[in-house]
Structure 1
Amino acid sequence: MNNSTKVITGFVVGALAGALTGLLLAPESGPDTRKRITRESEKLKDSLSETIAEILDSARNKYNAMLDEYTEAGKKTANKIKQSAKINS
């Protein structure tokens, strides 16, 4: 897990803990608290979905960059082998 993923994960966990603590300590009636919990849960779900999408996008970009790099290295190696085979034949 890289540093940015750790920071994002820590932020999301901290936000969740803070929101739940605030809701549980709030002096509101039962129905109001349930509505507030529902709203905050939706916000958290949206934030978590966005964070996961960003992490997946970052991983996908890194994968594609590595794939391109290794493909290019493989092509260069294949060309060197072909040239070596021509010289030795």
Structure 2
Amino acid sequence: MKQGNVIVGLLAGLAAGAVLGILFAPEKGSDTRKKITNKGKTALDDLKNKYNDAINHLNSKLDKTKNNGLKIYHDGHELVENTKNKN
């Protein structure tokens, strides 16, 4: 089984357990719905933050790779020009 599937399964199990715990708690329905809504919003905010962090990390890596590629290109171009000028 892939590690990603295990993590998704664990997160789904934790979420289901939290929802069931709230649903069976001896509180008014309106309080229970508020708790579920708040937990959902918190989970969504956490997911958005993780998504944004991942995108920022990937953009940083992409920029670094692009800059390295441009440096290699310019160094190669300069080497070719220097070789042409020596002949």
Normalising by the smaller structure, the TM-score range is 0.7 to 0.9
Q: Name 1:49's counterpart in structure 2.
A: 48
Identity percentage of aligned residues: 17
Q: Name 2:77's counterpart in structure 1.
A: 78
Aligned-pair RMSD on alpha carbons?
2.2
Long gaps (5+) in structure 2 = none
How many Å separate the matches in 1 of 2:16 and 2:45?
Answer: 16
Q: Name 1:22's counterpart in structure 2.
A: 18
Paired residue type of 2:39? E
* CA displacement at 1:19 relative to structure 2: 2.6
How many Å separate the matches in 1 of 2:67 and 2:43?
Answer: 36
How many Å separate the matches in 1 of 2:49 and 2:13?
Answer: 18
Long gaps (5+) in structure 1 = 1-5
How many Å separate the matches in 1 of 2:16 and 2:46?
Answer: 15
Cα pair 1:23 1:37 within 8 Å, conserved:
yes
The one-character-per-residue Cα deviations of 1:22-77 (angstroms, maximum 9, x if unpaired) are 21244135433322210110000110011011101100110111011011100100
Higher RCO by CA contacts (8 Å cutoff, separation 6 or greater): 1
Could you say what secondary structure the match of 2:86 adopts? helix
How many Å separate the matches in 2 of 1:49 and 1:38?
Answer: 16
Number of residue pairs the alignment of both structures matches: 78
Paired residue type of 1:84? T
Provide TM-score, normalisation by structure 2.
0.74
